């Protein structure tokens, strides 16, 4: 007796490693807009997306590349850059009337205290409500870039040549990497001040 194939074709986006449909369904069932976080080798991206039936509507978006205009020259996937990008997306979401969201990291690995959760912390500090565990949030020192500044300071003393090579983009932008914590606070204050303006 004839019968059909005993295998099931996997959805194309699942085959391509782009979408986990079971996870997506769980997120959609919350009824909240999703804070979608993705990253490339150079930048970190965030979007607030509202899903209606099969349609996704982008409410707000931000990319760490925007930090260059604010005076943050490089290291745009780092913890400080991720946090600042989180501030930007939260600010824009709040201006659009979005007060709550649920984080969607897609197929990125769940690594507590990673840069993805530095972005989450930036959103939380701007007032966007997102369900989370405090255990996944990086320390304040890491978010501020203290680990980068300390390494730069040590390297500058011990190996000036290596320091110049590793931090060349900072240096060419007239930014001292050992002052990264101060730069972080300056950009953070700039973004806060943008709350009164249209971003």
Show me where the domains of the chain are located. 12-144
- 128-168 pLDDT, tens digit per residue, is 999 999 999 999 999 999 999 999 999 999 999 999 999 99
Q: Which of 42, 37, 60, 197 is closest to 120 using CA atoms?
A: 37
Q: Is 31 left (phi over 0), alpha (psi -120 to 50) or beta?
A: left
Q: Do residues 117 and 88 make contact, with C-beta atoms less than 8 angstroms apart?
A: no
Model confidence, pTM: 0.84
pLDDT tens-digit readout, 5-17: 665 555 555 554 5
Fold observed for domain 12-144? Nucleotidyltransferase; domain 5 (3.30.420)
Please name the residue ranges forming H helices in 20-158: 21-28, 79-95, 115-125, 140-143, 146-158
What is the rounded CA–CA span in Å between residue 137 and residue 2?
Answer: 56
């Amino acid at each position: 007796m004839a019968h059909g194939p005993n295998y099931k074709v996997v959805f194309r986006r699942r085959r391509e490693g782009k979408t986990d449909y079971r996870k997506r369904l769980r997120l959609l069932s919350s009824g909240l807009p999703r804070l979608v976080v993705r990253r490339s080798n150079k930048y970190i991206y965030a979007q607030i997306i509202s899903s209606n039936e099969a349609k996704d509507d982008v409410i707000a978006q931000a990319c760490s590349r925007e930090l260059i205009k604010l005076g943050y020259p490089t290291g745009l996937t780092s913890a400080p850059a991720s946090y600042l990008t989180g501030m930007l997306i939260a600010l824009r979401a709040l201006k659009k009337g979005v007060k709550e969201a649920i984080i969607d990291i897609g197929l990125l690995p769940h690594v507590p205290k990673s840069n993805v959760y530095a972005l989450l912390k930036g959103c939380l500090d701007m007032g966007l409500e997102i369900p989370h565990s405090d255990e996944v949030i990086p320390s304040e020192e890491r978010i501020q870039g203290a680990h980068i500044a300390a390494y730069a300071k040590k390297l500058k003393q011990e190996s000036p040549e290596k320091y110049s090579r590793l931090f060349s983009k900072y240096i060419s932008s007239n930014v001292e990497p050992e002052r990264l914590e101060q730069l972080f606070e300056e950009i953070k204050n700039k973004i806060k001040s943008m709350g009164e303006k249209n971003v």
